[in-house]
Amino acid sequence: MTSSASDIRSVIVGTGGYLPAEVLDNDAVAQRYGLDTSDEWIVERTGIRQRHLAAAGETTGDMGAAAAREALAQAGIDVSEVDAIIVATATPDSAFPSTAARVQAKLGVTRGFAFDISAACTGFVYALSVADSMLRAGQARCALVIGSEVFTRLLDWTDRSTCVLFGDGAGAVVMRAVPTDTAEGRGVLSCHLHADGTHGDILSVDPASRMVRMTGREVFRHAVSKLASVVDEALAANGLDKADVSWLVPHQANQRIIDAMGRKLGLPPERVVTTVGRHANTSAASIPLALAEATRDGRIKPGELVLMEAIGGGLTWGAALARF
């Protein structure tokens, strides 16, 4: 499914991120939970060195609101202008009200609409696509798109194959509807979404234990092939070549997958935004967290073409191209 162009562009005008205060490195994870693992073993297989853990009582909504405040401040936009909030999360605060509605209340937004999207690690790309479509259709003028997760609360801390992979955090972007003739080429060019429920069991939350279960080798195999395909799809849809991509901002699941995608695009490592070593896999929060870091430190500059891609439980996968 691909969003189409119109006389309106949805432009990313601000980014923000939030990470909980507690940091747990690999050695601390092994010691705290009595795992037969080591920093060397984890880093070699995943690239992960540490992760952040939400504090007791710290919610998905709390973190999402914090990331949103930073994004709004960077954009210089008051909460009174926000008329849409979309939160991508696999760890909502409650079945209802939605985490997005809770974020709306925390921010003091008094108009518009708010809802959640569940697409696991691909959630931010899905949410970005929905916001892009709604802004182009005139259903909103200023949207907050947030990925926020407390994934460590879904982990079996006795299972070293999964518990070392994930962390908590939130990222957000502010998107505005801008007439195409004044956007100067900026904005979301297209989004490309896919799902295949026949592979859902290779990465899921067990309904009985409510813990993450994963068949790592199968996930890796699907990740490399499906991400390569959707990246080609996104470039072809816009008549672009790999050489046109300024930055790859991938879902931060595994350093090996990130490296493989960088090689496919012919991008040197310094043109791939990588946070997995410090954040671990923050699911739907990983892409907006990486965007926030790379815009805050000045790496991503106005006019540059950014490719985002992700794969997650469902299976779901997707890619988005945006010019900043």
Under DSSP, the state recorded for 263 is H
Contact 150, 280 (CB under 8 A): no
Catalytic residue (choose from 52, 222, 251, 279)? 251
- Distance between CA 77 and CA 16 in Å, rounded? 13
Residue 121 appears among annotated catalytic residues: yes
Contact 15, 295 (CB under 8 A): yes
- Distance between CA 63 and CA 87 in Å, rounded? 11
Catalytic residue (choose from 26, 52, 121, 163)? 121
Q: HSE-up of 245 (CA within 13 Å, CB side)?
A: 31
Residue 251 appears among annotated catalytic residues: yes
The one-letter code for the residue type at 111 is R
Question: CA angle 238-126-290, nearest 5°?
Answer: 85
Q: What order of strands is seen across the sheet that includes strand 113-117?
A: 8-18, 168-179, 142-150, 84-88, 113-117
The alpha carbon dihedral of 242, 246, 249, 255 has a sign of positive
- Distance between CA 242 and CA 15 in Å, rounded? 25
Catalytic residue (choose from 52, 163, 199, 281)? 281
- Distance between CA 290 and CA 249 in Å, rounded? 7
Kindly compute the dihedral angle of the four CA atoms of residues 91, 294, 144, 167, in this order, to the nearest 10 degrees: 10
Start-to-end CA span in the chain (Å)? 23
Q: Which residues are known catalytic residues?
A: 121, 251, 281
